Copies of this chain bind each other. A is one copy, B any other.
Amino acid sequence: MPGQRSITEAEKLAEAKLGGIPLHREQMAVVANIHRAASAVRQHLENSVLRGADLTWTAFVVLWVVWVWGESETRHVAEEAGISKGTLTGVARTLEGRGLLQRAGHPTDGRLVLLSLTEEGEALMRRLFPAFNEEEAFVAGRLSDEECRSVAEGLRRVVLQVEERGEERRLALLDGAEPAPRRSGRRPRA
């Protein structure tokens, strides 16, 4: 099993590389496993239920959000789907082109755009979601309901920590230094 042995093994190697500087082992392992699990789960779901419908993970998440919450403003959809506004614009365009999603202007605020599923999109989700949820159950199959709750609760605390203290922490780390702009991204016109 490469999986777990690697992490334990890697800890020792990393510690050796640092020559005695102490390492936050448990915290390192939990972060590593979060990402391992996320990518394993995503890959399984993409290759089982999503592939047949020619949907990517992100496209499915966006459809799911709009399906569950009903017609919504794009900023809320992006927030809920965990992607940036810019990414959502592209994904929504793709889904609109496939006839699964609709776009409408807000009646009173001209800046807003509302997203909703088409009838075809609704039908797709009614068909797809049960299969999706079944695979969620599969990937969590080695955990009892109680263990699922406990792991979910632990993860929730990680999310809360970043949401509530992350920004402040990042500012403290920079401590006055310039925010170090991303090297990629759009350039000023001048």
Contact = CB atoms under 8 A, between A and B. Distances in A.
Interface of A: 1-4, 6, 10, 13-14, 17-18, 21, 23-24, 26-31, 33-44, 47-49, 51-52, 54, 67-69, 79-80, 82, 125-126, 129-130, 133-143, 145, 147-152, 154-163, 165-166, 169-170, 173, 180, 182-183
A160 B33 CA distance: 11
B140 A30 contact: yes
A85 B157 CA distance: 34
A33 B24 CA distance: 23
A24 B142 contact: no
A183 B139 CA distance: 25
A100 to B, nearest CB: 14
Given A30-B140, A67-B17, A151-B151, A159 B37 contact: yes
A149 B26 contact: yes
